């Protein structure tokens, strides 16, 4: 059996290893992974999206924001997150992991694409988790973010967390 690799074999092996490595990383954050994407895998017409756009976690759980497609970041909407919770802002094109210790609703945006509707919400379960919900739901959002946040809050209402 030959031990020489052709260039093609090398690249195929490298690609397979990268795929397996990426899958392993996703498994570590099973259920707590938000991808930053140029287009939605669910709605072909939707561009610049977080997937999923709503995630519910327990206190002290981390969420990995993966910059699957370049040009995106994640930033909390500081005046709308729960009182006492630390705000965040990631670098453009960087993965970031955020641990959520304070129960409540966390609206967030992609800084360059917020008005294009690249927005999402994290709900951290626990006592008082809906204390800032009405403020977040009633806030004034600009551009397409207004429509997308409206859809997101309808999804949260349908889950009936409160």
pLDDT digits (tens, 9 = 90+) for 57-116: 999 999 999 999 999 999 999 999 999 999 999 999 999 999 999 999 999 999 999 999
Domains of the chain: 30-159 (2.60.40.420)
Higher-pLDDT residue of 81, 44: 81
pLDDT classification of 7: cutoffs 50, 70, 90: very low
Segment 8-34 shows an average pLDDT of 43
pTM (2 d.p.): 0.80
Segment 9-27 shows an average pLDDT of 35
pLDDT at 57: 95
Higher-pLDDT residue of 95, 11: 95
> For 99-144, where are the alpha helices, taking DSSP H only?
133-138
| pLDDT above 90: percentage of residues in the chain | 77
Q: Which of 141, 133, 139, 142 is nearest to 54 (CA)?
A: 133
């Amino acid at each position: 059996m030959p031990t020489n690799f052709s260039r093609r074999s090398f690249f195929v092996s490298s690609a397979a290893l990268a795929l397996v490595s990426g899958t392993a990383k996703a498994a570590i954050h099973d259920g707590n992974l938000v991808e930053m994407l140029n287009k939605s895998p669910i709605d072909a017409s939707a561009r610049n999206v977080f997937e999923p756009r709503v995630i519910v976690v327990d206190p002290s759980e981390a969420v990995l924001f993966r910059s699957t497609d370049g040009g995106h970041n994640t930033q909390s909407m500081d005046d709308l997150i729960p009182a006492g919770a630390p705000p965040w802002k990631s670098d453009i094109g960087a993965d970031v992991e955020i641990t959520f210790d304070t129960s409540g609703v966390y609206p967030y945006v992609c800084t360059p694409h917020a008005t294009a509707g690249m927005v999402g919400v994290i709900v951290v379960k626990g006592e008082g988790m809906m204390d800032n919900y009405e403020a977040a739901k009633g806030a004034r959002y600009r551009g397409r973010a207004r429509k997308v946040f409206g859809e997101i809050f309808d999804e949260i209402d349908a889950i009936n967390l409160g």
